[in-house]
Structure 1
Amino acid sequence: MTQPAPFTIIIPAHNEESVIARCLETVLADAPDQDRAQIIVAANGCIDRTVEIARETAPDALVLDLPQGSKTKAMNAANAEAKHFPRIYLDADVRCNYASLEALAETLRQPGVMAASPRLEMDLSRANALIRAYYRVWLTQPYVKRDMVGSGCFGISQAGHEAIGDFPLITGDDIWVHSRFREGERRNIAEDANGNPVSFTVSPPRRAIDQIRVETRRRLGVEEVLRLHPSPHFGGSNQAGDIRTALKDGATIFDVAVYLGIKAVARVRGYWTKRRSDTIEWERDLTARDV
């Protein structure tokens, strides 16, 4: 029997005591007893029980207890401890099983593949009507459908790491990775070699006000990457044709109005946020972390 090829899973976590066990339990539920991937939890600036819970849930994982709260610094610290390529970065509040991560690693071993993500699934079961409307449009947009890399789970091959180096001190780590590579160098996989489904699950905000906060941070993160790390591979903003595509894919006029409304409010909020401070506040939705 062929021994599984090694890879490393890196989970950055800042005050994630409510979700870190769920994340690790999902990974470990179908993991092999032996020869499993190296798991590193890069806890950073935690003042809750994240470190303790991670060590209890995954005794074989390496849990770093880093004093400074910085996601990209934590990812770089984990890279310094990582033993294998490819490397997969998994947010603590998302769910992805081991089989999907292993399939992702296998894709990243293919020649020419620099970065990849599993297919994204949105758990909208607890979201209100406005959020469901927003994501009926968002899920049809080019960034999501064209070899997306990000939104909570992505992997980078050894060649990809050698090409881009350490993560810079920015907010949008996934945006930065996505924009480092040409579309043909990115993959978004929905099935493994045997036809089994490959995906990860994100729980979005439940309310429009929380989505606006997240969208504001995302928008500021995009602007930060464009300003500090410009790239010809950046996807750009929505076009009128993208909205027409959403309508063809089943979204309603109401859905589009909600989507554009949330985007507009986040744009204005982002403008005033920049006027007040040059620092991007890491706004996240705590209700989505209520498990």
Structure 2
Amino acid sequence: MVTVVVAAHDEAAVLGRTLRTLLADAEPGEFEVVVVANGCTDGTAAVARSVPGVLVRELPEPGKPAALNAGDAAVRGFPRIYLDADIALETAGARALAAAVTAPGILAAAPRRRLDTTGRPLLVRGYYAINGRHPAYRNALFGRGAIALSAAGRARFGAFPDVVADDLFLDGQFTEAEKREVPEVATVVATPRRTADLLRRLGRVRAGNASLRAADDRVRRARRTSWLVDVVLPRPWLLPAGVCYAGLTLLAATSARRPAVRDGWGRDESTRAPAPAEADGATGAAP
């Protein structure tokens, strides 16, 4: 049995698709799925209950770490996949991630990411032209919306700490040799639809990452010039995109110092609402 934990805060618009995609080809009893609706003001819990076999827990206050801990407390199975509520992971993909952490020495696995920039503004597309090639994402667990752990991998730490960057926290628990990116599995990460949404998201994530790095020396360090040295210089035609990337990163660094940004929810809401030509909405939120 593969266990899947989904922390969901006001995800009624996308959660149904996520659960249907995950369980579309599942055999009876193959998956144990728990959805922890935390601080929801919409029909997230009702959507989860409408899917047969899904266990639902509700928390009165919003907070992803608390929701992940509540999900862990409700299940016992391994391998265990922590899946974002807006990420459509197919049944075969979940199987492949679970199989990856049964290999000798592999404690954690993640899919490769595929960035959806369709119809996005020029500045957003420029930013992700660099971000999508950034070496920090190689063999990393963060930025995919899905992470699988073996029982030994989950035993590496206790409760999820109260941090924003839960995927970066998980990434820091394992060595390079203990992690694996599963190339045959891809999750589609929808990028923000507006530049202002991207800036808000970047500011919040940057503040959260900085806080986590200050508290935990196992978390991988940020190499500030990597976008230039490793991405733009070998590909000079990306220079205009590099200018977008550098400018937006600088603005995000400035906004990350503001209390309203550090303490806000930080989620990109633009990818939760369906675009005019999209019946089911987007499939992810960018890191």
Q: Do the two structures share a fold, i.e. TM-score over 0.5? A: yes
Q: Distance in 2 between matches of 1:11 and 1:126?
A: 29
Structure 1 ranges of 4+ moved more than 6 A = none
Q: Number of aligned residue pairs: give it.
A: 272
Q: Distance in 1 between matches of 2:99 and 2:121?
A: 37
CA contact (8 A) 1:220 1:280 kept: no
Whether 1:268 and 2:254 are equivalent positions in the alignment is yes
Q: Cα distance, 1:183 vs. partner?
A: 1.3
* 1:87 match: 80
Deviations 1:164-197 (A, max 9, x none): 1210111110011111211111111112xxxxxx
Q: Cα distance, 1:249 vs. partner?
A: 5.2
Deviations 1:228-281 (A, max 9, x none): 2222x51423325x424323358621110111111000000012x14x68x621
Change (3 A) 1:88 1:253: same
* 1:195 match: none
* Residue correspondence of structure 1 range 53-72 to structure 2 within 5 A: 53-56=47-50, 58-72=51-65
* 2:277 match: none
* 1:147 match: 139
Match of 2:31 among 33, 37, 48: 37
* 2:6 match: 11
Q: Distance in 2 between matches of 1:263 and 1:55?
A: 40
Deviations 1:14-37 (A, max 9, x none): 0111111121122122323x1321
* 1:27 match: 22
CA contact (8 A) 1:136 1:251 kept: no
CA contact (8 A) 2:135 2:230 kept: no
CA contact (8 A) 2:165 2:208 kept: yes
* 2:224 match: 238
CA contact (8 A) 2:142 2:171 kept: yes
* 2:96 match: 103
* 1:75 match: 68
Q: Distance in 1 between matches of 2:35 and 2:49?
A: 9
Q: Distance in 2 between matches of 1:182 and 1:239?
A: 23
TM-score, length-scaled by structure 2: 0.89
CA contact (8 A) 1:94 1:203 kept: no
Aligned residue for 1:48, secondary structure, equals coil
CA contact (8 A) 1:143 1:235 kept: no
Q: Cα distance, 1:201 vs. partner?
A: 1.2
AA aligned to 2:200 is R
TM-score, length-scaled by structure 1: 0.88
Work out the percentage of aligned pairs sharing the same amino acid: 32
Whether 1:48 and 2:42 are equivalent positions in the alignment is yes
Whether 1:174 and 2:167 are equivalent positions in the alignment is yes
* Alignment RMSD: 1.7
Q: Distance in 2 between matches of 1:249 and 1:165?
A: 43
* 2:207 match: 220
Change (3 A) 1:251 1:225: farther
AA aligned to 1:20 is L
Q: Distance in 1 between matches of 2:181 and 2:221?
A: 15
Structure 2, unpaired ranges of 5+: 274-280, 282-287
Match of 1:280 among 257, 260, 263: 263
Q: Distance in 2 between matches of 1:140 and 1:35?
A: 39
Structure 1, unpaired ranges of 5+: 1-5, 192-197
* 2:216 match: 229
